Structure formats: structure tokens, C-alpha cells
Structure 1
Amino acid sequence: MEYLQAAKATLGMQWDEVAQAAGIEPRAFKNYRLPEGSKGHRNMPRLARDAIESLLKSHARKNRRKAA
């Protein structure tokens, strides 16, 4: 959950925007964000984590170009 909150803050997007940009269904993305003990929680698969990492890397590259 902390990982996803940090990614959301870094990207400056709303939850559904992050899900869409990563190609993840918003409902599935919500399940990844739920506390581990809650009924609807699902662990985020590697493919979804890789999609988030790709977004973060792309965001970082864009910010480096703007700063240069």
C-alpha cells in the first residue's frame, strides 16, 4: 500500500488515472491498495508492479528533460 501511495504522489495522478496509465483495471487496482487483512485485498502481481515501475521511470525521464 505504501508503495502505491508513493507512486501516486510521485506521478501526481488520481488512483483511477494511475490504474489506467498502467493498464490495470481500476477495481483490481483498488484491491491491491486495501489493507492486507481486509476481505477484498489481493497481492499485486509482478506484471502490475512492473507496469507501475515503468510509469515511474517514464515520469523521472520526463522530469530530467524538463530540468535540463
Structure 2
Amino acid sequence: MTSGAPTPARTKLLYTAIALLLLAGLVAFGLMSLFDLSLGVAVGWTVALAAGVFLLLAVLVG
């Protein structure tokens, strides 16, 4: 059984995940206001853009 004490790696991962989620929210709402999109379409485009960026990073790094 693991202890409940957070390790520095888990804390950094948690903060990174929260920051990425907030950044994705900002991108989605920016797309909504810029192109007059609905929430679902803006979130879909945000997910597609994030997937493209992650694939590009995987190709460039790996």
C-alpha cells in the first residue's frame, strides 16, 4: 500500500496537469470568442490542436 504523502515527482505532475487543463480552457474559450464557435466545437478543435502539437513533439524529440 502506498502512503498518502505526495512525492516531488507526483506534485510536479499534478501541477503540470492542472496548468495544461487551464491552458486548454483558455485556448477553447479563445477559439469560441474569436471564431464565434459553440463550446463543443471549440473543445474539439482544442483537442485536435493539442494532439497535433503532441504528435509534432513526439516526432521532433523521439
Structure number with larger C-alpha Rg: 2
More helix by share: 2
Whether these two folds match at TM > 0.5 is no
After TM superposition, the score normalised by the length of structure 2 is 0.44
